[in-house]
Structure 1
Amino acid sequence: MQASNDLGPFREGDSVLRPVRPWTASIHALLAALRRHGFAAALLPQGFDEVWERVAYLPGTTGDLDDNEEMRSERALRSAASLLRRYHDCSRLPLRDLAVDGLWQLPARAPAEVICHGDFAPYNVVLNDGEVTGIIDFETAHPGPRCWDLAYAVYRWAPLSSESRVEGLSRLDDQIRRARILLDAYGLPVAERSLMPDTIIARLEALLTFMEQEAARGVERYRRDLQDGHDNIYRLDIAYVSKWSPEIIAGLCE
């Protein structure tokens, strides 16, 4: 028996199941290591066989900025940044073993400072009482620089997008303000923030390359994404961040 590669996760009691992938063992090793080192805000791995992987369900509410008012709050933004920092710091502890032995969906990037989550966005966290308390969906985790992961978080949480139609989040100055709040709460030194726009652009370009490669391999999810024009959204956002890069840098570093 083999589960479809296009089948998404589903809940079964207090567990969440999804099809096993080539990188599942690495993800479960990461999750187990996080638990051993005291980080309880990630999924608890419950094992896998040749077909299904199983993790414990994390209670709380989920959603994105456009459909969850609590997720748009400054409290959620600050707690998300703080949680990402704690995750990064904890992921450094087992980094050597995981980076050497691991097989990851996304390629490792140098310098391998942390295990990047790979998609730290509002739709991949859980909220409890208005605060981000848990992280889900580690499928795109991979070794890399912490700013590589942080840049994508800024892109998603600000959000630095020309296509944002969310009330209060569509103006550039509001987006920059939220980006600064996130970086302040994360604790990124001001001296390291000037590269953030370029890193966001590089991260989105890498995402486009990955989508195109996976679609060419016949992965249906990414074939649909390209057919539906999702790549065009990222191209527009690359142009948007590039155009306003001086203003973004000024807002993050002032």
Structure 2
Amino acid sequence: MRQPLMHLEQSGFGGAPRVVGSGPDGGVVLTWIEGWVPTDSKAWKLDLDALGTVGELLRAYHGCAQGFTPDAGYEEGPQSVAEGQIVCHGDVAPRNTVFRDGRAVAFIDWDGIFVSEPIWDLAHAVWQFGPVCADGDPLVRDWPAPPNRSERIAALVGGYRLDASQARHLADRVVDVIAGIRRSVDRKAAAGNPAFVRMRDEGVLNDLERQRQAAEQQHSPIVDAVRASTRPARPWMAAVAAAFAHCRRGASK
């Protein structure tokens, strides 16, 4: 976690905590970021404008993550950055996003970073902010009404400026992300990791399987939502490159 966060600071990205030192146990001590972090049950309060800023912040992060080559040892994904890959946040969700005045200003909880394509992070965000699940799922059980997923996904992806030609690829990745996380939870629980054993015992594997099935069922609506986005369209890797250029300009100020 330390290396990527220090790289982000040096690159001028303001949407992440800063490393300020090490704690007595050797852990990383980070700055506090003021704002509102919605729980899953409160994510319905995020309007379309707020969701658009999540996409904008994620694109800016992906731009600033370009050029960083991590040391070997990251838990998931390949151990070195291949072409088109970056160090992803790994868990972009309402519970890990700080909002101020209706705008996403930072991502927190960087413990799950790993190497993959940027679109993996975007797919995870679509899953969590849509959210992609059945009505009555734990993700939306406490919502006052079922979410308009198409509008929410279009707003988020529009903020990221994903090109419409990537719509089907993104919808495929949403399914892959949920399936991959389910396998990871199952594997870690089987290895005896207490946190993941607890998740398994609480029925998280069943929840994830239902969400994966929902992602398959909602594949076409996700594609349509991305294509219906009214934000300026731009190929997603070109968007990342543009964000990186902006990030570097910010670092030079």
Shorter-chain TM-score range:
0.7 to 0.9
Deviates further, 153-162 or 191-200: 191-200
Alignment of 1:35-74 (within 5 A): 35-48=9-22, 51-67=26-42, 70=45, 72-74=46-48
Q: 1:211·1:222 contact (CA, 8 Å) conserved in 2?
A: yes
Match status 1:117 vs 2:110? no
Which of 101, 104, 108 is matched with 2:74 structurally?
Answer: 104
Structure 1 residue aligned with 2:183: 209
Higher relative contact order (CA 8 A, sep 6+): 2
Structure 1 residue aligned with 2:161: 187
Structure 2 residue aligned with 1:3: none
Note the alpha carbon deviations across 1:129-159, whole angstroms, 9 max, x for none: 1211111011111111011111010000111
1:156 and 1:147 mapped to 2: Cα distance?
Answer: 14
TM-score by length of 1: 0.81
Q: 1:121·1:157 contact (CA, 8 Å) conserved in 2?
A: yes
What secondary structure is seen at the aligned counterpart in 2 of 1:61? coil
1:217 and 1:226 mapped to 2: Cα distance?
Answer: 12
TM-score by length of 2: 0.81
Q: 2:88·2:117 contact (CA, 8 Å) conserved in 1?
A: yes
Which of 103, 121, 129 is matched with 1:157 structurally?
Answer: 129
Q: 2:89·2:113 contact (CA, 8 Å) conserved in 1?
A: yes
What secondary structure is seen at the aligned counterpart in 2 of 1:47? strand
Match status 1:147 vs 2:122? no
Q: CA RMSD in A?
A: 1.9
Q: 1:105·1:139 contact (CA, 8 Å) conserved in 2?
A: no
What secondary structure is seen at the aligned counterpart in 2 of 1:195? helix
1:69 and 1:212 mapped to 2: Cα distance?
Answer: 29
Q: 1:77·1:182 contact (CA, 8 Å) conserved in 2?
A: yes
Which of 167, 173, 179 is matched with 2:144 structurally?
Answer: 167
Q: 1:110·1:145 contact (CA, 8 Å) conserved in 2?
A: no
Percent identical across equivalent pairs?
Answer: 22
What secondary structure is seen at the aligned counterpart in 1 of 2:168? coil
What secondary structure is seen at the aligned counterpart in 2 of 1:67? helix
Q: 1:75 to 1:251 in 2, by over 3 A?
A: closer
Match status 1:32 vs 2:6? yes
Q: 1:103 to 1:238 in 2, by over 3 A?
A: same
